């Protein structure tokens, strides 16, 4: 089987990166707090969506110490709409560790960075190489796609052994310009060799090395292992209003969407009469059913099939907290699953 000699890759990729790299706010410096924040935000999220969040977050919390001491409601509000809220909870937890153990100074070795809450091999590699110049590969989906095509490798990229093999391959060729090489690989995988479209091989600085280009297999790569079917859950969401205020409650501190605000909701779907009887048994005096809508929200392992029922109450009953629209806008972080209904009110 033909193999790809990757020793020439840095020499081909770095000049292209210096000429074509995107102007992104987290590339303005190599401050580890900034690199860390951007890498966590960019997980599962588009670059364009992250730019505004990144600027607002740093404006409110400019240092690791400020993050460690941030109120949870403010923290969730700054993150509202980005999803995967465990990311920001781990950010704060890790900031607390850095403050307590290092006096707020970011650790400078790969193993120390890897030991922080919420940081895995990829993020530790990115921070270590970009901020501290260490030759530590950061292997994410973009990098896996590039290496899969370069080597014409059909190994499923979502298997741990594939990621480990790619990391070992890259460690052997990492140049002194480690941080730039890390970002160059990411840049190539996000642009010319991106997902969900035909790779722009004719523009690629690495095409003469690339077996996927040579053999015509690039577009068919990478390969992923078959996904398990997501669990389906039916939920009825109650958007309760009374005199211009809306009922919210906090989710439990552990589990899905931990610690975030939500509209009251119950498992299952109900016909109107059945739902009214249930709501009244909860001590909620319904004055009017305003409307019903259906929405779907997809989590990593679960799909919520949601029916939203907008109810005007005669009085603000129930064990809830009642917020005005302005208070929800400034104080209560609603995860996307519930903002779907807030935006339709």
Question: In this structure, what CATH number is given to the domain that contains residue 206?
Answer: 1.10.340.30
Please report the pLDDT score of residue 227 as a whole number.
Answer: 86
pLDDT category at 72 given cuts 50, 70, 90 is very high
User: Does residue 200 share a domain with residue 61?
Assistant: yes
Please report the pLDDT score of residue 202 as a whole number.
Answer: 96
User: Does residue 237 share a domain with residue 257?
Assistant: yes
Please report the pLDDT score of residue 15 as a whole number.
Answer: 98
C-beta of residue 57 within 8 angstroms of C-beta of residue 84: no
- Residue 302 predicted with pLDDT over 70: yes
- Residue 225: inside a domain: no
Which of 168, 196, 220 represents a domain boundary (last residue)?
220
User: Does residue 278 share a domain with residue 153?
Assistant: no
pLDDT tens, 104-157? 999 999 999 999 999 999 999 999 999 999 999 999 999 999 999 999 999 999
Higher pLDDT, 15 or 345: 15
C-beta of residue 269 within 8 angstroms of C-beta of residue 296: no
Section 323-340 average pLDDT = 95
Average pLDDT of the chain, as a whole number: 96
Residue 76 and residue 157: Cα distance in Å, rounded?
32
Domain carrying residue 24: 6-220
Instruction: Check if 280 is active-site.
Output: no
What share of the chain in percent tops pLDDT 90?
95
Residue 3 and residue 209: Cα distance in Å, rounded?
10
pTM value is 0.89
Give the list of residues 6+ apart from residue 138 with CB closer than 8 angstroms, or none: 122, 123, 125, 126, 129, 182, 185, 186
Please report the pLDDT score of residue 179 as a whole number.
Answer: 98
Residue 199 and residue 211: Cα distance in Å, rounded?
13
C-beta of residue 223 within 8 angstroms of C-beta of residue 155: yes
- Residue 1: inside a domain: no
What share of the chain in percent tops pLDDT 70?
100
pLDDT tens, 141-155? 999 999 999 999 999
231-242/302-313 β-pairing:
parallel
Which of 197, 220, 243 represents a domain boundary (last residue)?
220
- Residue 2 predicted with pLDDT over 90: no
Residue 194 and residue 249: Cα distance in Å, rounded?
41
User: Does residue 141 share a domain with residue 265?
Assistant: no
pLDDT category at 217 given cuts 50, 70, 90 is very high
Per-position DSSP letters for 20-47, written without gaps between them: H----GGGS---HHHHHHHHHHHTTS-H
C-beta of residue 15 within 8 angstroms of C-beta of residue 205: yes
Report the length, in residues, of the chain. Answer: 345
User: Does residue 155 share a domain with residue 129?
Assistant: yes
CA dihedral 262, 267, 269, 272 (to 10 degrees): -70
- Residue 210: inside a domain: yes
User: Does residue 286 share a domain with residue 210?
Assistant: no
Section 236-242 average pLDDT = 98
Section 328-340 average pLDDT = 95
User: Does residue 148 share a domain with residue 54?
Assistant: yes
Please report the pLDDT score of residue 327 as a whole number.
Answer: 96
User: Does residue 158 share a domain with residue 242?
Assistant: no
- Residue 226: inside a domain: no
C-beta of residue 312 within 8 angstroms of C-beta of residue 241: yes
- Residue 185: inside a domain: yes
Which of 163, 198, 220 represents a domain boundary (last residue)?
220
User: Does residue 161 share a domain with residue 54?
Assistant: yes
C-beta of residue 345 within 8 angstroms of C-beta of residue 324: no
Give the list of residues 6+ apart from residue 233 with CB closer than 8 angstroms, or none: 267, 302, 303, 304, 305
User: Does residue 168 share a domain with residue 245?
Assistant: no
- Residue 161: inside a domain: yes
- Domain of 299, CATH number, reads 3.90.79.10
Please report the pLDDT score of residue 1 as a whole number.
Answer: 63
pLDDT category at 257 given cuts 50, 70, 90 is very high
Please report the pLDDT score of residue 145 as a whole number.
Answer: 98
User: Does residue 21 share a domain with residue 104?
Assistant: yes
**Choosing from 2, 39, 100, 292, which is the catalytic residue?**
39
Q: How many domains, the chain? A: 2
Residue 184 and residue 188: Cα distance in Å, rounded?
6
- Residue 269 predicted with pLDDT over 70: yes
- Decide: helix, strand or coil at residue 242: strand
- Residue 270 predicted with pLDDT over 80: yes
- Residue 33: inside a domain: yes
Please report the pLDDT score of residue 3 as a whole number.
Answer: 83
Residue 279 and residue 116: Cα distance in Å, rounded?
45
Residue 269 and residue 275: Cα distance in Å, rounded?
8
- Residue 184: inside a domain: yes
DSSP state of 195: S
User: Does residue 235 share a domain with residue 216?
Assistant: no
- Residue 306 predicted with pLDDT over 70: yes
Section 46-67 average pLDDT = 97
pLDDT category at 44 given cuts 50, 70, 90 is confident
């Amino acid at each position: 089987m033909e193999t790809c000699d990757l020793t020439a890759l840095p020499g081909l990729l770095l000049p292209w990166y210096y000429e074509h790299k995107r102007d992104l706010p987290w590339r303005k410096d190599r401050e580890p707090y900034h690199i860390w924040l951007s890498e966590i935000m960019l997980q599962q999220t588009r670059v364009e969506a992250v730019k505004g969040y990144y600027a607002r977050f740093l404006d409110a919390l400019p240092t690791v110490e400020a993050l460690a001491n941030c109120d949870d409601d403010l923290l969730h509000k700054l993150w509202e709409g980005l999803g995967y809220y465990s990311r920001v909870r781990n950010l704060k937890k890790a900031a607390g560790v850095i403050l307590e153990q290092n006096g707020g100074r970011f650790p400078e070795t790969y193993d120390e960075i890897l030991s922080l809450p919420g940081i895995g091999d990829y993020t530790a590699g990115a921070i270590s190489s970009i901020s501290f110049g260490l030759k530590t590969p950061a292997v994410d989906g973009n990098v896996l796609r590039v290496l899969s095509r370069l080597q014409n490798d059909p190994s499923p990229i979502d298997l741990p052994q594939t990621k480990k093999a790619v990391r070992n391959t890259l460690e052997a060729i990492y140049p002194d310009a480690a941080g730039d090489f890390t970002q160059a690989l990411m840049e190539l995988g996000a642009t010319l060799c991106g997902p969900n479209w035909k790779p722009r091989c004719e523009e690629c600085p690495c095409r003469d090395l690339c077996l996927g280009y040579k053999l015509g297999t690039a577009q068919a790569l990478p390969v992923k292992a078959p996904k398990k079917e997501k669990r389906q859950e039916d939920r009825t969401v109650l958007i309760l209003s009374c005199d211009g205020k809306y009922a919210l409650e906090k989710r439990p501190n552990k589990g899905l969407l931990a610690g975030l605000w939500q509209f009251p909701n119950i498992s299952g779907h109900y016909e109107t009469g059945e739902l009214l009887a249930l709501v009244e048994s909860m001590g909620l005096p319904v004055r009017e059913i305003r409307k019903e809508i259906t929405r779907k929200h997809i989590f990593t392992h679960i799909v919520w099939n949601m029916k939203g029922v907008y109810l005007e109450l005669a009085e603000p009953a129930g064990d809830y907290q009642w917020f005005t629209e302005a208070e929800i806008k400034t104080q209560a972080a609603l995860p996307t699953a519930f903002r779907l209904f807030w935006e339709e009110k």
